[in-house]
Amino acid sequence: MSNIPLINGRAYEYAQIAIEMLGGNVNSASAISYKEEQAKENNFGAGYRPVSRGHGAVNANASITMGMQDVEALRDIAPEGSLLKLPPFDIKVTFLNVGKVVTHIIKNVEFLDDGMDSSQDDKDIKGTFALLPSHVKYR
């Protein structure tokens, strides 16, 4: 077999992600999701084809799954221990790829829910929380 070099270098992978919020690292985060969506539609006038395109507002949403140790650390700084009462904050997501380090900032985040689920034989209790950001800064 011939030695074929890696053409595209090293892929981005979850193990390279560092997540920071409220002044600390979220080391127990096992999932993070964020996206922006915008309604777009064709506008019609004379003829059968669109004559222009309209754009709606940009809406952002996010979620995070993290271990109870990080959830309880957030409760320690939250008013009355409620994640729902934390003031808006940013989440910094850094992809530490050797080829190119990339940082995204999820802006003005608030928790939309609070609580915890656990069941028998759980070895690592984690919770998934819906988040409400204002927008995502990709650059």
Q: For position 6, what pLDDT does the model report?
A: 63
Q: Which CATH number fits domain 14-137: 1.10.10, 1.10.3470, 1.10.287, 2.30.110?
A: 2.30.110
- From residue 111, give the alpha-carbon distance in Å to each of 20, 57, 76, 91, 129: 15, 21, 15, 12, 7
CB-side neighbour CA atoms (13 Å) of 50: 7
pLDDT (tens digit per residue) in 3-49: 666 667 788 888 899 999 999 999 999 999 999 999 999 999 999 99
Start-to-end CA distance of the chain, whole Å, equals: 42
**How many other C-beta atoms lie within 10 A of the C-beta of residue 96?**
14
At 72-127, the pLDDT tens digits run 999 999 999 999 999 999 999 999 988 889 999 999 999 999 999 999 999 999 99
Q: What is the C-alpha separation between 18 and 27, in angstroms, rounded?
A: 8
Write down the domain spans for the chain.
Answer: 14-137
